[in-house]
Amino acid sequence: MRKSPRSSQWTRREALHLMGTGTAGLGFITACTGEPAPLSSSPGNKAAPTETTPSPHQIPIIRTLLDDISPDDITGVTLFHEHLSIKLSPQMTATDDVDNIVQEIKTAAMEGLGCIVDGGHPDMSRDLEACHRVANETNVHVVSAGGYYMERFYPPDLTMKSDDQIADDLVDEATRDRLGAFGEIGQTSDVAEMTPLERKVFRAVGKAHVRSGIPIFTHNAYGTGPNVTPEQGLVQLDVLESVGVDPRTVVIGHACCLDDSSASVLKQIAARGAFVGFDRVTGGRVDDPQKVMTILALLDAGHADRLLISSDYIGRRSPERPGYGNAITVFAPLLRDAGVNEETVRQILHDNPRRFLAFVPRAA
């Protein structure tokens, strides 16, 4: 039986650092380290440190549409990139039937789903009220996202705004609509470089994150054509880091569409601290056996704590994608069959996405 080289346990140093950057809850830290929450002492006091109770403003939360919750409140699987409402063209009608979406989420809850992130926003014609219905009519936590998708979907006024002005708008939107993530933030299909306007938007999203604390997940153009270079995931990370974003608050998305089973670029992304998003499982341009091989390479390099899985499901059923729970019911068994132990599978499906979504809200 294959065993991943990493367990789901954090070291104490990792846990304390995550507390400092606002990416884990206190109970979550205790659960993962087996140790109590951080201790501190007054400056200059050489006596033994005493336990302190952090301010409510310092305790990381996950922001759902209905409430700010502790990461510990999510007991099921968290899917960090799905679509409860999306309409990129008039012909795209799969999520129009909200009653059906509600029922699909109820089914996924029975399969183990505990939290779902809707990766839409206004330029994708996301219906926020539909997301509210899912949150109110199921027992699944719903996180809604904001931002901009890719240049061909941008509103015309973005060309006239600075990245700071766009960041202002994003923070206002996040506050008004109770958004818990910025994503999916993308770049144009089958081009060699991010367009100048997309680069400005990436900077703006990064600045909005720095002001708010809200985590970011991206849309990468991997698999959309031969002009997309493997380095694009690193480029996205470069742009975000250039405005002060901590890579540990970022998922580089659609990593599973990069045709490289050695995971050479993905290892670099993970080594810089960012999460690697396998968010088109199952199906897609890279077949599932190769996705599994790539994941095994990533795990063997010691990056089990950097991997997230989701399916980017848009309500379009297929044998490979039977519903919102297919990452749980179809793809996770492939990992187990390949010898990934249950502790690591749980880490990938339960612990990692909660760490990604948890943040300490900051004053805008």
Q: Say how many Å lie between the first and final Cα of the chain, rounded.
A: 50
Q: How much is the pLDDT for 19?
A: 45
Confidence (pTM): 0.86
What is the per-residue pLDDT across 126-165, written as a single tens digit (0 to 9) for each?
Answer: 999 999 999 999 999 999 999 999 999 999 999 999 999 9
Q: What is the CA radius of gyration of the chain?
A: 20
Q: Label residue 28 by pLDDT band (50, 70, 90).
A: very low
Environment class of 294 (CB within 10 Å of its CB; exposed 0-12, middle 13-18, buried 19+): buried
Specify the CATH number for the domain of residue 260: 3.20.20.140
Q: Label residue 54 by pLDDT band (50, 70, 90).
A: low
Q: How much is the pLDDT for 269?
A: 98
204 occurs within a structural domain: yes
Report phi then psi at 113, rounded to 5: -70, 130
Q: How much is the pLDDT for 316?
A: 82
CA-to-CA distance for 9 and 122, rounded, in angstroms? 38
Q: How much is the pLDDT for 21?
A: 44
119 occurs within a structural domain: yes
CA-to-CA distance for 206 and 225, rounded, in angstroms? 27
31 occurs within a structural domain: no
363 occurs within a structural domain: no
32 occurs within a structural domain: no
Q: How much is the pLDDT for 69?
A: 98
How confident is the prediction for the chain on average, in pLDDT? 87
What is the per-residue pLDDT across 274-313, written as a single tens digit (0 to 9) for each?
Answer: 999 999 998 778 999 999 999 999 999 999 999 999 999 9
For the record, the structure tokens of 172 come out as: 């206002």
67 occurs within a structural domain: yes
pLDDT of 170 > 70? The answer is yes
Q: How much is the pLDDT for 282?
A: 84
Q: How much is the pLDDT for 259?
A: 94
Q: Label residue 319 by pLDDT band (50, 70, 90).
A: confident
- Which residue range is the domain that position 241 belongs to? 61-357
Q: Label residue 56 by pLDDT band (50, 70, 90).
A: low
Q: How many helices (H) and strands (E) does the chain have?
A: 13, 12
For the record, the structure tokens of 337 come out as: 């069959």
pLDDT of 37 > 60? The answer is no
User: Whose CA is closest to 254, among 87, 79, 81?
Assistant: 81
53 occurs within a structural domain: no
142 occurs within a structural domain: yes
Mean pLDDT, to the nearest integer, of 244-259?
97
pLDDT of 43 > 70? The answer is no
Say what percent of the chain tops pLDDT 70: 84
Please count the structural domains in the chain: 1
pLDDT of 200 > 90? The answer is yes
